[in-house]
Amino acid sequence: QVQLVESGGGLVQAGGSLRLSCAASGSIFSINAMGWYRQAPGKQRELAASITSGGSTNYADSVKGRFTISRDNAKNTVYLQMNSLKPEDTAVYYCKADGVHTNRGFAPYYWGQGIQVTVSS
């Protein structure tokens, strides 16, 4: 019954910024890790950034130094601040929650529906 709802995507010019949000709803006890994946047209889905329950972060080389991932445990929400955006950042961005414990038990992961980010040159 966990749902991930993404927001904050859209169209932006190269060099601009966007902030993505993903809120997990349900009777959630804990989420071990949350992350943002992205998939460009005709390409495989790739991990852009992730963050553990302890606050440890990991970034793809292509976004390191430009993107910042953070989370609000009280709101079960993860954010992705994207700065200095490039046309190659254009993709559908998917939120993922790993190791989700709820009142119904444990689930290995949940995916959000995806949200479009388009960066014009």
* pLDDT digits 0-9 by tens, 32-61: 999 999 999 999 999 999 999 999 999 999
- Report how far Cα 68 is from the mean position of its chain's Cα atoms: 10
| Cross-strand bridge partners of residue 7 | 21
Q: Is the dihedral of CA 114, 116, 117, 119 positive or negative?
A: positive
pLDDT band at 20 (very low <50, low <70, confident <90, very high): very high
* Model confidence at 1: pLDDT above 90: no
- Return mean pLDDT, the chain: 97
Amino acid 117 reads V
* pLDDT digits 0-9 by tens, 62-115: 999 999 999 998 899 999 999 999 999 999 999 999 999 999 999 999 999 999
Contact 14, 83 (CB under 8 A): no
As a whole-number percent, the residues of the chain with pLDDT over 70 amount to 100
What is the mean predicted confidence (pLDDT) over 12-31? 97
Question: What pLDDT does 73 receive?
Answer: 85
- Cβ of 119: how many Cβ atoms within 10 Å? 19
* Model confidence at 13: pLDDT above 90: yes
